[in-house]
Amino acid sequence: MYDVAVIGGGPAGSQVAYRLAGMGYGVVVVEQKERLNEPVCCTGIVSQECVRSFTIDESVIFRRVNSAKVFSPSGKLLRLWRAEPQACIVDRAALNLAFANRAQGKGAEYVLGNPVSNIEVGNDRVSIKAARQGDSFEARAAVLATGFGSRLVGGLGLGKVGDFVVGAQTEVETIGIDEVEVYLGQEIAPAFFAWLVPTAPQRALLGLLCRHSSGLYLKKLMASLLAQGKIASASVELSYGGVPLKPLARTYGDRLIVVGSAAGQVKPITGGGIYYGLLCADMAANTLHRALSSDTLSTKNLAGYERGWKRRLGWEFKVGYWARKFNERLSDTQIDRMFDIIKSNGIDEALLKAGDLSFDWHSVPILRLIGHQALSKVIGVVKLPLHRRGRDQRESDSIN
């Protein structure tokens, strides 16, 4: 019997496996894909903080990014720039492989091409049934790291992620694009945004997240960028993926922990989930270590995992989700007007100078923006569904 069976060999699953195998536990990772570096519908942008914290190897980094051009619905431009790189674009398939290699290096066993179809929790073990030739695995605990929309999680009585968007992405040949571009507008990507992210000279990932029909919107955007001369051609093949916007109702149970996108641990403002998933994977490994070493793997003993990630990320999820829903209600005219005010009042510069515009931590800049008097005239009276923290309140006041 293994100590821990991890289901899903994405970044979150492999990080839990790496940490636990490194502590000497017997770990198996069961993955449905045949190869660990199969293509993933993901743009692969992660912060420098994430690269440093999880020592992401240079070999998987396409390039570093220190600026982005954000376009309003009518084409107004806001350019965000810092001297130092803020983020990295990674080869997402290679990243999966690198994390898995690291876990294997510590002794974790990987079983590939074997989708798990059922999980049963018993008194002293978890039994995991996989589809291939009736394989089954037994472990003292299981970690579900199955990504967005897994039926396995739903079947365990842990609830569902409360809200989500759907993404579509493709690779394009670009003309003269060397900065990340972000496009806003209800006609472009309703309720979310679209992006053009250069990965190599004349190559970029073009994608968007929205509430529905993401493929149709992406094709429309491709046609528009072709007409503008920004792209020369695009692959006809689109890939699709879902992104949770709210965490799962409960992320632990008897002998069970859920991490990463399966648990809804994604930034609601950008849809980025790699870094938060990795942070939660570390917290899951720490909780499991304590529970395995005392052989107390009950629901009560694993609850500390959820308390931990809520302490670290709960506020970001709350403010980010509220801002995401708020943004959904803004008309294109309001967004355009906000661009004017941000530029004419130097709000972008102030946020950049104050160091608040962070790739991963969004609550402070959101609250600052909302607290700005000129902006609030455009967006109307804002009733926050949360109690502001004293510090955030003071910071948002100081910019006015």
Ligand X SMILES: Cc1cc2nc3c(=O)[nH]c(=O)nc-3n(C[C@H](O)[C@H](O)[C@H](O)COP(=O)(O)OP(=O)(O)OC[C@H]3O[C@@H](n4cnc5c(N)ncnc54)[C@H](O)[C@@H]3O)c2cc1C
Give the binding site for ligand X (CB under 6 A).
7-13, 30-33, 41-46, 115-116, 145-147, 150, 152, 167, 169, 207, 241, 243, 260-262, 266, 271-275, 277
Among candidates 232, 7, 40, which has minimal Cα distance to 130?
Answer: 7
Q: Which residues contact 8 (CB under 8 A, 6 or more apart)?
A: 29, 30, 31, 32, 144, 145, 146, 147, 150, 260, 262
Which residue number, 262 or 369, has a Cβ lying nearer to ligand X?
262
Q: Report the alpha-carbon distance of residue 362 to residue 282 in Å, rounded.
A: 21
**Considering beta carbons, is residue 150 or 251 the nearer one to ligand X?**
150
Asked if 9 contacts 36 with a C-beta cutoff of 8 angstroms, the reply is yes
Q: How far is the CB of 25 from ligand X (least distance, A)?
A: 19
Q: How far is the CB of 89 from ligand X (least distance, A)?
A: 8
Q: Which is nearer to ligand X, 214 or 301 (CB)?
A: 214
- Cα 6 to Cα 118: distance, rounded to the nearest angstrom: 13
- Structural contact between residues 388 and 366, judged by C-beta atoms closer than 8 angstroms: no
By beta-carbon proximity to ligand X, the closer residue of 30 and 313 is 30
**CB of 323: closest distance to ligand X in angstroms?**
18
Minimum Å distance from CB 15 to ligand X? 8
Identify any residues that bridge with 27 across adjacent strands, giving them in sequence order: 4
Contact 356, 370 (CB under 8 A): no
How many CB atoms are closer than 10 A to CB 179? 15
**How far apart are CB 144 and ligand X at their closest, in Å?**
9
CB of 259 to ligand X, least distance (A): 6
Instruction: Give the nearer residue to ligand X in terms of CB position, either 272 or 320.
Output: 272
DSSP reduced 3-state for 24:
coil
Question: Considering beta carbons, is residue 46 or 399 the nearer one to ligand X?
Answer: 46
How far is 9 from 20, CA to CA, in rounded Å?
A: 14
CA distances from 393 to 104, 310, 327, 342 (A): 46, 21, 20, 19
